[in-house]
Amino acid sequence: MELKINNQTKHFATDSLTVQALLDLEIPEKQNGIAVAINNTVIPKSNWNSHPIQENNDILIISATQGG
């Protein structure tokens, strides 16, 4: 499966991923304070376990930061 994640093309050896499975692969250490959008649509955290990812999806993963 080929996906565009934060403007980088990445390849995965599976053709079946959910948002949560992708996050477990990409950022297993920090999953609090993030938001995920697929093709410019924000996916609620409550749907991460069930929302499927399709070939060639454009995915944006945003981390909240502190500062001033």
Q: What are the tens digits of pLDDT across the range 6-62?
A: 999 999 999 899 999 999 999 998 888 999 999 999 999 999 999 999 999 999 999
Question: Is residue 8 one of the residues assigned to a domain?
Answer: yes
In terms of DSSP bridges, do strands 58-63 and 34-38 run parallel, antiparallel, or are they unpaired? antiparallel
CATH of residue 43's domain is 3.10.20.30
- Number of structural domains (the chain) is 1
Question: Which range of residues forms the domain containing residue 6?
Answer: 2-63
> Exposed (0-12), middle (13-18) or buried (19+): which is 26, by Cβ within 10 Å?
middle
Helices then strands (H, E): number in the chain?
1, 7
Question: Is residue 18 one of the residues assigned to a domain?
Answer: yes
Question: Is residue 57 one of the residues assigned to a domain?
Answer: yes
Question: Is residue 68 one of the residues assigned to a domain?
Answer: no
Query: What pTM, to 2 d.p., does this model score?
Result: 0.89
